[in-house]
Amino acid sequence: MQVLEALKQAIKVCADVVKWGAGVQEPTRKALANDLQAICANCDAAYDAVLIRLVPIKNAFSDPVKLAVELRAFSADSATRASFKPDHLCGQVDELLIRLSSNLDPLKYSIDFRRIDDVRQYLARFGNFDGAIFQSYDELVAELDRIATQIQTSASDARERARYAEHVIQDFESDLRATQSAVRHAKREMLGLI
């Protein structure tokens, strides 16, 4: 999913820029590191919830009939959809963007001024993920719902469709885990700044 790759890149760039210049505006940098860690923690928890919800689907891969039921349940699960976007993500990012734009806020002067536009750009992309995150998730569940219909309506292709569902879920899970790994790595890097 492209949105997960973009999120991973945004987190990495922010962590890299924040690491530069340790000792400059130390209290402000620590506050920024704490804010970015909170964002990372929210992302991590959100993706854990989705990964946990994938377990029943993965357990049903060998039984196409049960798989179709699990795919439909996942598609209709509004709680899982809601958890796919980290809580308060946009509000946290918007607050950082406002602070980075203010000439009166020491945060603007706590990071390399040559990279401040990079940070703003990536944070803005990060904050604009609301719609993209839900759109990518909705595309996934629509595809899984189509597969469930195909499994239920064509018995001869049921095994093939189940294998295809397994492929789609594995790709999604792989992307989600890679993003989660990048989030955790960025969080660990920022621990050294606190």
The model's pLDDT over 34-47, given as tens digits with 9 standing for 90+, comes to: 777 787 788 888 88
Range of the domain at 112: 2-191
115: burial class by Cβ within 10 Å (0-12, 13-18, 19+)? Answer: middle
DSSP class of 184: H
Q: Which two tokens stand for residue 157?
A: 């292709």
Average pLDDT, whole number, for the chain?
Answer: 79
Number of domains, the chain: 1
pTM for the full predicted model: 0.74
pLDDT tens-digit series, residues 73-98:
999 999 888 887 766 666 777 777 77
* Tokens standing for residue 84: 């796919």
Q: What does the alpha-carbon distance between residue 145 and residue 52 come to, in Å, rounded to a whole number?
A: 19
Q: What is the mean pLDDT of residues 11-28?
A: 64
Tens digits of residue pLDDT in 129-170: 656 777 888 899 999 999 999 999 976 688 899 999 999 999
